[in-house]
Structure 1
């Protein structure tokens, strides 16, 4: 095995993140029929906020509040209550990406595993527990707790300290987002793998060490 450590992103790398499904379930629980059009409208607010969060322009707390302000007012609850209801619904519908369990089983004992995620604390532990993955990971580093998000070097440095400063040449970062996962890893000086499940065009100026279309392909690549 070429690597001593393999770090994974969480959403759309290990876990499906079906935010429309989560929103639909949450609103059902509030007695509201949430449509695809409603979702598109929500994403017009939500998506730019995640970019601002990755760029360090807003905090996790601000993101949680701003994205649900409009709907929370309509329902007469606070945006933070709504955010919690959404994360609870996301935990309830959580599933693993195809090949995730097999990949982790194959790596178990051959390399140490960690997670670096820009997702929220409230969702991480419960998902790992429900999918039976808790014991696979030495460290779960969450941007909300560190105070900075990928691709900021600080979150990688934080994980690196926790890992006991191993040789950077023996660390691999795996993720689906070329900007936060791949570029973040490259800038920190570690090797990267882009999980490109949707056949996206590779962004200009970002060159991962590996590009795979599935976790099964990653398993075959790593254990070849």
Structure 2
């Protein structure tokens, strides 16, 4: 029986849309012009911190404390900004976004008619991820949900996957497949854990030569044909 480990953000749930709305509310609250340039600056600062977290060089608490302070500094805004408080408001807004990715519902409906076991593996924050998962209506499709904040380790670390393995009955790691949009967390995590990885790449991003997935798909429904050959 195949165990399918699904990433959530930008794999099953549209994180970009949720982030766009949440960030817009922060911009409005602090009278920041809502421009593509300013959004790109936030994206740059945020991704740099998340990469440090994935590499084990930054704590989650420091990420939360720093990302909006660094963003405001990059905008050259003057003031004594409370990073954690701003982030708490942002997380509240973010937790309200639960739009599904294209074909996610159809995929889950198809998989529910098979004997595959489905699990969620996310690097998200609990207070953001769990409300989004529940509001989206997809929770009943999954046997368990693993969120890095609760696990105490994050993808791509082996510690995260060892926790997942400890909670699931299986005979061989060959039964596992991880599906996700992130090369650095999902695909590298799959490699670290010694399991099959499928890179969901709907935007046609250029692959990293140092991180190669076993399979690449551009549409979630393509997963169904991949599984028939597994």
- TM-score w.r.t. the length of structure 2 is 0.86
Quote the Cα distance in structure 1 between the aligned partners of 2:111 and 2:42: 38
Quote the Cα distance in structure 2 between the aligned partners of 1:120 and 1:113: 20
- The residue aligned with 1:130 is 135
C-alpha displacement at 1:204, in angstroms? 1.2
Query: Deviation digits for residues 60-106 of structure 1, max 9, x if unmatched?
Result: 11101100125499686632222122122223333110111111111
- The residue aligned with 1:173 is 178
The reply on whether 1:120 has 2:125 as its aligned counterpart is yes
Q: Choose the corresponding residue for 1:99, options 95, 103, 108.
A: 103
1:207 to 1:41, Cα distance in 2 relative to 1, 3 A? closer
Q: Choose the corresponding residue for 1:84, options 88, 91, 101.
A: 88
**What secondary structure is seen at the aligned counterpart in 1 of 2:11?**
coil
Quote the Cα distance in structure 2 between the aligned partners of 1:29 and 1:130: 25
The reply on whether 1:46 has 2:51 as its aligned counterpart is no
**What secondary structure is seen at the aligned counterpart in 1 of 2:5?**
strand
Q: Choose the corresponding residue for 2:224, options 210, 214, 219.
A: 219
Q: Choose the corresponding residue for 1:11, options 5, 9, 12.
A: 9
C-alpha displacement at 1:150, in angstroms? 1.0
Please identify, of 155-164 and 107-116, the stretch whose mean Cα deviation from structure 2 is larger: 107-116
Uncovered stretches (5+) of structure 1, i.e. residues with no partner: none
Contact 1:160-1:166 within 8 A present in 2 as well: no
The reply on whether 1:145 has 2:143 as its aligned counterpart is no
Quote the Cα distance in structure 2 between the aligned partners of 1:166 and 1:31: 56
C-alpha displacement at 1:110, in angstroms? 1.9
The reply on whether 1:60 has 2:60 as its aligned counterpart is yes
Quote the Cα distance in structure 1 between the aligned partners of 2:127 and 2:102: 24
Q: Choose the corresponding residue for 1:159, options 160, 164, 174.
A: 164
Quote the Cα distance in structure 1 between the aligned partners of 2:83 and 2:102: 33
C-alpha displacement at 1:45, in angstroms? 2.0
**What secondary structure is seen at the aligned counterpart in 2 of 1:173?**
strand
Uncovered stretches (5+) of structure 2, i.e. residues with no partner: none
C-alpha displacement at 1:21, in angstroms? 3.1
Quote the Cα distance in structure 2 between the aligned partners of 1:220 and 1:112: 17
CA RMSD of aligned residues (A): 2.3
Count how many residue pairs are aligned between Structure 1 and Structure 2. 222
- TM-score w.r.t. the length of structure 1 is 0.89
C-alpha displacement at 1:13, in angstroms? 0.7
Quote the Cα distance in structure 2 between the aligned partners of 1:104 and 1:74: 47
Contact 1:94-1:127 within 8 A present in 2 as well: yes
Quote the Cα distance in structure 1 between the aligned partners of 2:135 and 2:33: 27
- The residue aligned with 1:35 is 35
